[in-house]
Homo-oligomer: A and B are copies of this chain.
């Protein structure tokens, strides 16, 4: 068989359209969702990410507030900034771009973000609400992965899902989301024995390892839905850098039922979900009065 491609760019675009439509409705209530982005230092990759985030936020009708601090900014300066942003009623979402410079206590800064404005979903309160099945802001990447899985199938209940990777940002919340959707979920990681065999059991396989082509084609069960979170830069045959995922995509095509490409799969979903989380944070500020949250559809 040849796998169906799950087109993350198209899905993300449709999600951004829903976000923009909901934002336009909110404007009629006098609410403009606002996203504050805090960027410290001059890491080029972070600057690119932040640029994309603010551009897409603006395109969807959100306000954005950029806060750029020098690499010498201290933990207490950052905490003071976050506290100011917590207090502002026109800021509904606060995103502190990671990684922060080595001298900064990242955990301390993130812990200060008001959980209601924690649109990255990294705060312990949101992680806890997700774990307990309560209304939570879910980290953007696994949320995007779930939306892509639902593009491939709406019948998740009872399916064997394997998540490879146990980070706080992707693997663990991904496992929670799949469990909420009634999958039988296994979390694998660097200490897992016989990963190939485990992957072969997966009807849904989420790879979040960060190692190019770590998942071979014949590790994939026939017909499986494969979500590749990896974005790895490798030298291509022409000597130029290219992006590849954690899955050997070409080899996987003949095994999987549906698969996300890299690039163009999970990547575009992350920012779209950030916008969704921000608009939902704005909606939650006036419980009920602003209508329903943007859902997964």
Contact = CB atoms under 8 A, between A and B. Distances in A.
Interface of A: 107, 123-134, 157-158, 160, 166, 168, 172, 175-176, 179, 182, 184-189, 191-193, 198
Contact of A184 (B123, B126, B192): B192
* Assembly stoichiometry (copies): 2
A191 B187 contact: no
A189 B193 contact: no
B168 A179 contact: no
Given A127-B131, A186-B186, 16 more contacts: A124-B131, A126-B128, A127-B129, A128-B128, A128-B129, A131-B168, A131-B176, A132-B168, A133-B168, A158-B192, A158-B193, A172-B179, A179-B189, A184-B187, A184-B191, A184-B192
B179 A184 contact: no
A186 B189 contact: no
A160 B158 CA distance: 19
Contacts of A187: 175, 179, 184-186
A85 to B, nearest CB: 21
A191 B157 contact: yes
Contacts of A157: 191
25 contacts: A124-B125, A124-B132, A125-B125, A125-B128, A127-B127, A127-B128, A127-B129, A127-B131, A127-B132, A128-B130, A130-B131, A131-B168, A131-B172, A132-B172, A133-B168, A158-B192, A160-B193, A182-B191, A184-B189, A184-B192, A184-B193, A185-B186, A185-B187, A186-B186, A186-B187
Given A168-B133, A184-B198, A191 B126 contact: no
